[in-house]
Structure 1
């Protein structure tokens, strides 16, 4: 070992550094200077996994008082309130990823609004009534041996248990709310508010009782709303072409019917069991109809002309047209019923007849079809229902059919009767979409029975007008909302169940006529609503309740003449009245309602109709409609398929942690925010792992700093980064406002990668690590790093509250006990927007890009760079970054990351032969276009003659193995 090397090592060992003292630049020769390099130090964990992650999230929730945040912000003064109304989830099962998608979406927006200084009004609730809860509560017990009170008690207990589990999950996900003050549709005060809505609608004549066809579930023995149906696309029905012989020909046909014989109207149906209830055959007035003769048996049939080709192919015979008529020519025709020979049914016009299938003539059974009922109402036809609550024929159908199930043996019996009557032309199996009870998964029927209805036809125009004033995201969902309203002519709100809010009505014991007035809801609430478990048939009577009138009679009666109705309200009316029970009295309209697309025909609509009926306005100012959570393959989740993703397993891990590791709540929240919520939202192992990796990258991007510097004293690149941070924060704010959380994440990732990792961090690390600790340049970038850390933490906080609060706990500059969510949104100081700053930096970056692209794969630090710009504005802008002609430590050299920069007006003529040259242009645009100047520049990159400094590793040393001037000065001060 040489004497010189021993001297160097000894000198370093005693902490002495002298000018001109050499050290080796290879191997560990630079190690003695490591203690002078100001590398970042933090106790913030770069990664957290498994139990440590779960434990840390719980600690964050406790230390940052997540459970008190909602109450705190409700008590603080705020200029503006932000109301997001919670559509109640159904209390009939464990929390699932659909709940997570919905609740976390709401929470992200609520937390953003809180940080923006608004007072958030958000009251979580649960939809607690209905048959699914009743059935699950009873299990295999049935209802035969239980009283109504016992059924209600069991259903309430079941709902309370589900609510407890769901509420605990929502809290674990970090959802901000006062979880001790939620709303429940079985709560007495809620029910009272709901009955007030019912009463006001009844007073306006919007609620009435009638014998109308409704969707009826034989398996549940109750009426169903459309929102309680699901359609089986593979349902198989026995479709039949059936003849109705014309007993009386229409006059226009009779004139041309000499020698024809019997003409039969041909109809098509997929529900032969409804034939006994037939009251008419309908035609389309403006369509053409023909009397045709079959070539194979000379049978005469009346059918729509447009359907002839299809029928000829189906019957496998030619159909000779004997005469053609317009639909109105069929007026006056009378047919014989095919199974009830003594019954005559008329030919009647109807606009619901279509030519898309069948024969153009429609069998009409008013008790088993909505459109059929409308025809019966118009022409005063009977609406006699032959089907009971169990879906079986009654005695009205005759002894051959009585007690037989219309969907099974009853249907087969009708088909046999039709065959025996010679009325069947053709029969075949038909696979088609058919409504099923979404709870029991069994087919439903349409059945006329006495029910309570809301006359939505009188509300539709008002509802449409109100909806036009509502903002809808995505806008395409508005047309679906309007289409749903168009299709709903009335709304059946009565249900034959025990568990629900009783319809406030009494019935006369003898006549069965209903009694309802403004006192009845109060009378019933005394016994059933404010204490739902005290559900009795004997009740104290409010004297004025029976001093009113029947709905169809002017008689008054004594209380003993009446019995209380046992039907309960539809749960969509139940939950649809939540605006009346939950929203602020000052302005009972929510700023936003956020629900899945299934609520277009459900809660969105029931809320709108009830609010418009009572207040002539929508209960919400804006709607967001999101998609459903599906498997990673885009399939609907199903336990039988085995593709269900359990949010509890996402957070805590599954049985096999190597297959299903614990990810924590923030990964679940990231998945929600990153997803395209307006389509089907996919979730699975790949999506969750990607979310975890992205969060880990976010953790690694933060490093707190101290000792702020006034922006005027900062380096230009530092000022520019504050400008970029301001632009970023404004874009993020806009994205949050629009519920575009995926854009928030993309902007965050782009800013982290492009502006920070690939640009700013790589440029400033020399100044940050190697400049004197208290230098203005170092403190300048430290100040910016603090602002960046703070801005990025706040920008992602609504999505990742646990991580954001954890960062805040480690960051300096705030008192013990402070939390990020109590300290506001991103700070964007207007002073960061400095005139001309963009032009300076963007011009320099244009030169930088030209330089780096001219030396692909090589180290910029090993080059000297000559920048030639003609005298003018652009040259003056670059001079603000480097005053002297040549420098190794200017802001321009730092930005270019080169060894030495020369700023001149033209390139020298004697460039080395290995010099790499390029040119470019830059357009200066100042003061809104008032100053525009396009400048050209030329650059030459030359291998530097300077040596690498063993401390800072920049090529700025005059001699090999020697400290550069900056490092020598610093080391001398460090020793002294």
Structure 2
């Protein structure tokens, strides 16, 4: 093999370096991505790559393929999760475009909602202003300006990552048309009979004073008080009959970690399948609230644990007997505060024991204190058995002022800390003798993702979308209700990637309650409806359902946005001449922002020219948390309006962790900002990290991981640089037809045909890790370490018109077309640089190309099998040469002429049919069927092959460095016959090397 700058020991031979076809390229070894990538961004913007692709797609009649962008929230700089998500989307869009689709991508933003409103309120508080004193439209305008600012910031940050799309015209949920459509979608729910006002417990933030959606809640560990409380049984059963004598005076023990809910207790739940016992206290230590002789009902499996918390050991209590489900079903208890001095009869009601499947004996006592106003399972049990709701907790998280003992006590303070309510309730339970034990427990507890403060379940009037009511006339091929349609969509209409996503969202939709649509805030799309003054929620005419009113609202929103709802005279304007404004009340709650984003299919996929022809997206792609967020809200909203899911497939990715697998947190100092990665390495390194990771699981990122990614990038870049350097001066006249190529070149074409199938299949399946790994292995192993290594000699030293050199350059040209396009969706910047190195021009871009069509006849399985055998033997030869180099017996491999012993006759014939010395980069080689001598080098994984390394005979060629017997016997001094002929050919063409 010739070196880039060969020297010779023969001082009489001329310097032949200028006669070699050495690589020539301006493509730098060092990428300099941080400084150079902005130039390619400017190039794409100047030539309008995205819009030119749309024009071409229309002209060619391409099939649309739509990835619908889940809107990020317009609030703050991008984090690494944003970068992962948008880069994945970009790879999907670019790859589908290059596979022949019209792959449209409209980026969007979620603009309404509490986080922005909260920021404006923070600014007000810092200035001593009161939000309630600011006109609502003025306040909403400030929220709009805040969102506009962050949209611009995020847009530039997304573009810097190389994300292509219609950035000039994104969708925004606060655009006037979007606000109109969101309101129209709500009014479809209204007209279809799905909207009702109800009172039930919802996740409530006392700090932010609003209901929260499940997706707005995150769970953190929190230490809470745990209490074991005794409820005394009444002496008569539910039917008025006497209960068993030994149960008279007995007490049911419950356990809870929310003591503040005890004043709202209305029942006790048990499970008929659990074994319960009646236990008697026979002894007690001094520090104990149990009393000798009292009898307690506890689940048998938990009795020992409960007694231990009450500081009773096994010698201090005994089990009297079983208590059957039939007995429990008849029992009634009294509230612990019943009859207490100063209670004023507040708790003088029966507390029935009720069967509930949600009760377990895994923890607690086997009995569950039930407050229907403060928990969903409690509420469902209350609905079933007609339990009364309580209204003790106000919107600020405090007890109503007139509640005996606890009036004004706060559950969660305005700063998100635990208030005095728990302590006040515990103290009162102790005072009335109902407390059996107390403790502290660390458990996962819901918090608002914005304020980070704990949330509570609170009974409050809200607006709901019923997911089990018939939609309109109930006629639909996919189901009569939203839930039925959603479950049918999940199972029959949507492909879930990975499949575990199906199970996750199916379980959520199957078990979820009605959708709480209302929020008690200002920045959002209002619930555009009117209620009959004085009517009850269950009255038939409670809600106004008038298409003419709806049309006036929609028209106003299109022209003025949702602010029109708050303008002076809005009620009269919308009700029109047919309705008396005095008879109707205007609703001022705003819609859950998940209804906003759930409606995007209507104003993006349906209404935009660059949306979807049938209003359905081919793909939604977000993190796994969106099974309870955007995936689900879009599914439920669309099932209420168009009867099915708005997507055909859903792909989910995991979360991004630090190098140690820890969740990223500013407090831990382990966050990785995408802006910093781009500044240090360039966006392509971040894109390559995305491509190399298994995004379906949680991914890790950090300095050491990024260094490894950068190393992979450098290796790939070197492959591309070699290719470009050896294509210098390429002329189409050099092209060699595949059937005329040497076998080695035809083997490369076979590999390309295999890769074409692998790449297309991988991109269709969004398997970027598999695509990149296949291409990287091919580039570094099949090309750099094998094909390029072998063909350096022919490319540098053969005559310009030699078949072998022309075939190699033809293959390099073919490789260029495929590798640049195949890798362009992943390494968007670098492949543009590679492309422009050979295809310069103001209008040129690799991103305007499709994947080249690969001829089917390039596939040659027999040839591939033959060369697999050749490569196995080559591995033995190169390993043997490496041993001799380490032992200083040879320097370069060209000093050797090994003897290769091969037992397999067919394999030996295959080796003799090629220039195996060139394949092994030696100056000669002897192939023999003779048995391997004892000293022969062998590899265990390649049986039947032995190698004895001999030195090559002859002198070293001053031009190609091979050791050959004929060196020095030709017209040109110090060269071999091949090089002499190449020099003669060069001279005959005027001395041009390339």
Q: Tell me if 1:536 matches 2:562.
A: no
Partner Cα separation in structure 2 for residue 219 and residue 695 of structure 1? 49
Partner Cα separation in structure 2 for residue 303 and residue 918 of structure 1? 75
Specify the alignment match of 1:947 in structure 2: 955
Structure 1 residue 818, shift from structure 2 partner:
2.7
Mapping of residues 745-756 of structure 1, within 5 Å: 745-756=772-783
Q: Contact between 2:619 and 2:651, CA under 8 Å: does it hold in 1?
A: yes
Out of 427, 452, 462, the residue aligned to residue 438 of structure 2 is 427
Which of the pair is proportionally richer in strand? 1
Distance 1:820 1:528, change over 3 A: closer
- Residue-by-residue CA offset, 1:551-610 (whole Å, 9 max, x unaligned): xxxxxx523322311101101111111112212453222221110111111011111112
Partner Cα separation in structure 1 for residue 463 and residue 497 of structure 2? 34
Q: Tell me if 1:862 matches 2:895.
A: yes
Structure 1 residue 187, shift from structure 2 partner:
1.6
Specify the alignment match of 1:217 in structure 2: 205
Q: Tell me if 1:158 matches 2:146.
A: yes
Partner Cα separation in structure 2 for residue 845 and residue 965 of structure 1? 28
**Higher RCO (C-alpha 8 Å, min separation 6):** 2
Out of 456, 477, 486, the residue aligned to residue 463 of structure 1 is 486
Out of 764, 771, 774, the residue aligned to residue 791 of structure 2 is 764
Structure 1 residue 835, shift from structure 2 partner:
6.2
Out of 88, 91, 106, the residue aligned to residue 71 of structure 2 is 88
Q: Secondary structure at the match of 1:857?
A: helix
Specify the alignment match of 1:438 in structure 2: 449
Specify the alignment match of 1:315 in structure 2: 310
Distance 1:415 1:896, change over 3 A: closer
- Residue-by-residue CA offset, 1:382-408 (whole Å, 9 max, x unaligned): 11211111111125623x322221342
Q: Secondary structure at the match of 1:139?
A: helix
TM-score by length of 1: 0.87
Q: Secondary structure at the match of 1:282?
A: strand
Mapping of residues 258-269 of structure 1, within 5 Å: 258=245, 262-269=249-256
Bigger Cα displacement from structure 2, 793-802 vs 294-303: 294-303
Structure 1 residue 634, shift from structure 2 partner:
2.6
Q: Contact between 2:936 and 2:948, CA under 8 Å: does it hold in 1?
A: yes
Bigger Cα displacement from structure 2, 771-780 vs 584-593: 584-593
- Residue-by-residue CA offset, 1:176-226 (whole Å, 9 max, x unaligned): 111122111112222232233323333333332111111111111101111
Q: Tell me if 1:570 matches 2:578.
A: no
- Residue-by-residue CA offset, 1:155-184 (whole Å, 9 max, x unaligned): 011011111111111112111111122111
Out of 981, 984, 989, the residue aligned to residue 969 of structure 1 is 981
Structure 1 residue 302, shift from structure 2 partner:
2.2
Out of 325, 331, 344, the residue aligned to residue 323 of structure 2 is 325
Partner Cα separation in structure 1 for residue 939 and residue 84 of structure 2? 52
Structure 1 residue 917, shift from structure 2 partner:
8.1
Specify the alignment match of 1:305 in structure 2: 300
Q: Contact between 2:233 and 2:247, CA under 8 Å: does it hold in 1?
A: no
Distance 1:896 1:276, change over 3 A: closer
Q: Secondary structure at the match of 2:123?
A: coil
Distance 1:32 1:516, change over 3 A: same
Specify the alignment match of 1:551 in structure 2: none
Bigger Cα displacement from structure 2, 505-514 vs 820-829: 505-514
Distance 1:273 1:922, change over 3 A: closer
Distance 1:529 1:134, change over 3 A: farther
Q: Tell me if 1:403 matches 2:408.
A: yes
Specify the alignment match of 1:193 in structure 2: 181
- Residue-by-residue CA offset, 1:314-356 (whole Å, 9 max, x unaligned): 2233332333222232223222221132322222222222212
Q: Secondary structure at the match of 1:144?
A: helix
Q: Contact between 1:334 and 1:347, CA under 8 Å: does it hold in 2?
A: yes
Q: Contact between 2:526 and 2:590, CA under 8 Å: does it hold in 1?
A: yes
Specify the alignment match of 1:25 in structure 2: 8
- Residue-by-residue CA offset, 1:669-717 (whole Å, 9 max, x unaligned): 1122222212222222223333333323222212232232111221111
Over the aligned positions, Cα root-mean-square deviation in angstroms equals: 3.1
Out of 524, 536, 540, the residue aligned to residue 553 of structure 2 is 524
Partner Cα separation in structure 2 for residue 291 and residue 192 of structure 1? 63
Specify the alignment match of 1:639 in structure 2: 666
Unaligned runs of 5+ in 1: 1-22, 548-556, 653-661, 882-890, 924-935
Out of 679, 698, 710, the residue aligned to residue 737 of structure 2 is 710
Partner Cα separation in structure 1 for residue 901 and residue 398 of structure 2? 95
Mapping of residues 782-931 of structure 1, within 5 Å: 782-811=809-838, 817-834=843-860, 836-858=862-884, 859-864=892-897, 877=910, 880-881=913-914, 891-901=915-925, 907=930, 916=936
Partner Cα separation in structure 2 for residue 214 and residue 28 of structure 1? 92
Q: Contact between 1:915 and 1:941, CA under 8 Å: does it hold in 2?
A: no
Q: Secondary structure at the match of 1:417?
A: helix
Distance 1:863 1:828, change over 3 A: same
Partner Cα separation in structure 1 for residue 925 and residue 626 of structure 2? 64
Structure 1 residue 781, shift from structure 2 partner:
0.4
Mapping of residues 168-187 of structure 1, within 5 Å: 168-187=156-175
Out of 714, 718, 727, the residue aligned to residue 700 of structure 1 is 718
Partner Cα separation in structure 2 for residue 242 and residue 524 of structure 1? 54
- Residue-by-residue CA offset, 1:471-499 (whole Å, 9 max, x unaligned): 22222232222222233122211100000
Distance 1:676 1:950, change over 3 A: same
Unaligned runs of 5+ in 2: 1-5, 125-129, 284-291, 340-347, 413-418, 469-480, 606-610, 885-891, 989-994
Q: Contact between 1:723 and 1:833, CA under 8 Å: does it hold in 2?
A: yes
Structure 1 residue 445, shift from structure 2 partner:
1.4
Q: Tell me if 1:134 matches 2:117.
A: yes
Q: Secondary structure at the match of 1:248?
A: coil
Q: How many residues in Structure 1 have an aligned counterpart in Structure 2?
A: 908
Out of 502, 511, 518, the residue aligned to residue 487 of structure 1 is 511
- Residue-by-residue CA offset, 1:873-905 (whole Å, 9 max, x unaligned): 666655653xxxxxxxxx34322333235567x
Partner Cα separation in structure 1 for residue 628 and residue 636 of structure 2? 11
Q: Secondary structure at the match of 2:193?
A: coil
Distance 1:388 1:65, change over 3 A: same
Q: Tell me if 1:393 matches 2:409.
A: no
Partner Cα separation in structure 1 for residue 939 and residue 462 of structure 2? 83
Q: Secondary structure at the match of 2:528?
A: coil
Partner Cα separation in structure 2 for residue 331 and residue 669 of structure 1? 62
Specify the alignment match of 1:625 in structure 2: 652
Q: Contact between 1:246 and 1:262, CA under 8 Å: does it hold in 2?
A: yes
Q: Contact between 2:226 and 2:259, CA under 8 Å: does it hold in 1?
A: yes
Distance 1:512 1:207, change over 3 A: closer
Q: Secondary structure at the match of 1:944?
A: coil
Out of 86, 90, 95, the residue aligned to residue 107 of structure 1 is 90
Partner Cα separation in structure 1 for residue 934 and residue 378 of structure 2? 91
TM-score by length of 2: 0.85
Out of 334, 337, 362, the residue aligned to residue 335 of structure 2 is 337
Specify the alignment match of 1:246 in structure 2: 233
Partner Cα separation in structure 1 for residue 240 and residue 250 of structure 2? 10
Bigger Cα displacement from structure 2, 377-386 vs 71-80: 71-80
Out of 693, 699, 703, the residue aligned to residue 681 of structure 1 is 699
Q: Tell me if 1:515 matches 2:543.
A: yes
Mapping of residues 536-555 of structure 1, within 5 Å: 536=567, 538-539=569-570, 541=572
Partner Cα separation in structure 2 for residue 862 and residue 630 of structure 1? 52
Partner Cα separation in structure 1 for residue 589 and residue 646 of structure 2? 27
